[in-house]
Amino acid sequence: MSSAFEDGFSAAKLFAQGYSYTYDDVIFLPHYIDFSTDAVSLSTRLSKRVPLSIPCVASPMDTVSESHMAAAMAALGGIGIVHYNCDIATQASVIRHAKSLRVPIASDAVFKSPDLQIGSVDDFGPSSFVFVSQTGTLTPSLLGYVSKSEWSSMKDDQKEMKIYDYMRSIESKDYYVPWDIDLDKIEAVLEDKQKGFVVLEKEGEAVNVVTKDDVERVKGYPKLGSGTVGADEKWMVGAAIGTRESDKERLQHLVKAGANVVVLDSSQGNSIYQIEMIKYVKNLYPELDVVGGNVVTMYQAENLIKAGVDGLRVGMGSGSICTTQEVCAVGRGQATAVYKVATLAAQHGVPVIADGGISNSGHIVKALVLGASTVMMGSFLAGSTEAPGAYEYRNGRRVKKYRGMGSLEAMTKGSDQRYLGDTAKLKIAQGVVGAVADKGSVLKFIPYTMHAVKQGFQDLGASSLESAHSLLRENVLRLEARTGAAQIEGGIHGLVSYEKKSF
């Protein structure tokens, strides 16, 4: 670039001003376009040996990442990290279940206990069926089903019957198909056998239920590239663990369950506990990638890189439900944190995960161009069909619970060790409990989000993450800080009313 036309600032200069910038505080200046949006590649790495087709990672939070989220993210080309706010057996079971969901559909099906009265069933949701199992959840053994049409024509004298006595049995093998069958074959089976649903089965156990409505819904979703599949030809799934002695036992069970990468989950990763755990994992499982963090400074990152991490998780107090910066007065603006840590990590070939502060596709573009290889998302994915938990209605809006792992509610389940507080006499919250609106399926909105990210890269003249990082290091890409007025101007303003649709 000719010095006569230099505009804005290099990243090195902008981030050396002594300010802690968030994503909204900075803006990239457009560059030169000589390729189409479809020519942009977002392929990347989560860690040294875990390649991804898209730079999206589901955060290890108990209201975000369990089996359906992990399977869906892998199917899209990203990855989900299963939380550890549960006992060892449960986390291992979630990982096995995620890897068995070859068709990653989080069904709208409702499950009930057989002892309930049929008259008490008043919520079929969007599904045409209520399924019956011993526990009232999807379990290895389903007992039967009740169709909405039969339920609606039920006579008054039948309402006190137990569901078990009213339901139709699904013992017939006509309802069962292999777990690894693809969507087109499921559709063909439903058409051929004239059934409203099929049960996906693996080694004699039910792993999912897919209805005809589910198939029709998913067929309309946009498609991305190839999914994230491991050497075992199953979805790649990550697992979070802590840094306590008990986590060494947890690690062994998770590896046995098929975890492809381990994330050491701590709000402040630069500790003797994490450094020792990194060394322990790498010694016991040399081929298993370990992601360390969280960090926000080069000093923190250097210590974990020396210990042997294969990836770094960057962010402290930037999440929408996190109060660490407010409570503890430590942390960093996420744009500054990502740029600083990524600058050092790139010298060692260690990929960076930008964790927190992602509210829109523009934030993803900024995180990736500033040096991150992936973005980890919590609130962005919470409230989706695949997120754990049931929908409820608040003030007329359909929502799901979303809570920070530093909230007192989550800490009572065990997440306090993430904040080194599991042995403390007093519990101090570093997060809150809230709710987020129904977003629909990640299988639908993530592909649209990735296309928006590609458009951002095109405007910057970067056809890949590697290209973007190179252009930033060479000072070709220029930035500026935005005033409060500039941020307002850059958003929707000056309207009496409007309807915002992202896609």
**What is the C-alpha to C-alpha distance for residues 40 and 453, in angstroms, rounded to an integer?**
9
Same domain assignment for residues 396 and 414: yes
Question: Residue 334 domain-assigned?
Answer: yes
pLDDT of 218 reads 82
H-type helices in 361-431, by residue range? 361-369, 408-411
Determine if residue 316 is labeled as part of a ligand binding site: yes
Same domain assignment for residues 378 and 280: yes
What pTM was computed for the model? Answer: 0.85
Which among 45, 322, 332, 478 is annotated as catalytic?
A: 322
394 tagged catalytic: no
**What is the C-alpha to C-alpha distance for residues 340 and 297, in angstroms, rounded to an integer?**
7
pLDDT of 4 reads 59
pLDDT of 135 reads 76
Same domain assignment for residues 230 and 202: no
pLDDT of 88 reads 96
Distance of CA 207 to the CA centre of its chain: 21
The domain that holds 329 is classified in CATH as 3.20.20.70
Question: Residue 313 domain-assigned?
Answer: yes
pLDDT of 388 reads 87
Determine if residue 355 is labeled as part of a ligand binding site: yes
For the chain, the domain total comes to 2
Instruction: Decide if 78 contacts 57 (C-beta within 8 A).
Output: yes
Same domain assignment for residues 121 and 232: no
pLDDT of 323 reads 75
Domain around 235? 11-31+46-104+226-476
Instruction: Decide if 116 contacts 162 (C-beta within 8 A).
Output: yes
In sequence order, which residues have a C-beta less than 8 Å from that of residue 54 and are 6 or more positions away?
42, 43, 44, 76, 77, 78, 224, 225, 446, 450
Same domain assignment for residues 213 and 276: no
Helical (H) or strand (E) element with 471: helix 465-473
The domain that holds 175 is classified in CATH as 3.10.580.10
Question: Residue 493 domain-assigned?
Answer: no
**What is the C-alpha to C-alpha distance for residues 200 and 27, in angstroms, rounded to an integer?**
47
Question: Residue 485 domain-assigned?
Answer: no
Closest CA to 295 of 240, 350, 332: 332
Instruction: Decide if 254 contacts 284 (C-beta within 8 A).
Output: no
Determine if residue 41 is labeled as part of a ligand binding site: no
Same domain assignment for residues 130 and 75: no
Question: Residue 2 domain-assigned?
Answer: no
Closest CA to 109 of 240, 200, 33, 20: 200
Determine if residue 122 is labeled as part of a ligand binding site: no
Same domain assignment for residues 457 and 323: yes
Determine if residue 406 is labeled as part of a ligand binding site: yes
**Side-chain half-sphere of 196: how many Cα atoms within 13 Å?**
14
Determine if residue 73 is labeled as part of a ligand binding site: no
Same domain assignment for residues 94 and 194: no
**What is the C-alpha to C-alpha distance for residues 12 and 24, in angstroms, rounded to an integer?**
18
Which among 217, 250, 332, 418 is annotated as catalytic?
A: 418
Same domain assignment for residues 149 and 213: yes
Determine if residue 411 is labeled as part of a ligand binding site: no
Question: Residue 491 domain-assigned?
Answer: no
Determine if residue 422 is labeled as part of a ligand binding site: no
Question: Residue 487 domain-assigned?
Answer: no
Instruction: Decide if 164 contacts 143 (C-beta within 8 A).
Output: yes
Q: Which two tokens stand for residue 445?
A: 């909105």
Averaged over successive runs of 10 residues, the pLDDT of the chain (503 residues) comes to 74 95 96 96 97 97 92 95 94 93 76 77 68 75 79 71 80 80 85 82 82 81 81 94 94 97 94 96 97 95 97 87 78 95 97 95 98 96 88 83 65 55 54 79 94 97 97 96 91 79 69
Same domain assignment for residues 88 and 186: no
Same domain assignment for residues 61 and 179: no
Determine if residue 62 is labeled as part of a ligand binding site: no
322 tagged catalytic: yes
- Residue 144 main-chain phi, psi, to 5 deg: 180, -165
Determine if residue 379 is labeled as part of a ligand binding site: yes
Same domain assignment for residues 279 and 338: yes
Determine if residue 65 is labeled as part of a ligand binding site: no
pLDDT of 126 reads 61
Determine if residue 371 is labeled as part of a ligand binding site: no
Distance of CA 140 to the CA centre of its chain: 25
Question: Residue 196 domain-assigned?
Answer: yes
Distance of CA 304 to the CA centre of its chain: 24
Pick the last residue of a domain from 220, 246, 278.
220
pLDDT of 362 reads 96
In degrees, rounded to 5, the angle at the alpha carbon of residue 457 between the alpha carbons of residues 358 and 294 is 35
Helical (H) or strand (E) element with 313: strand 311-314
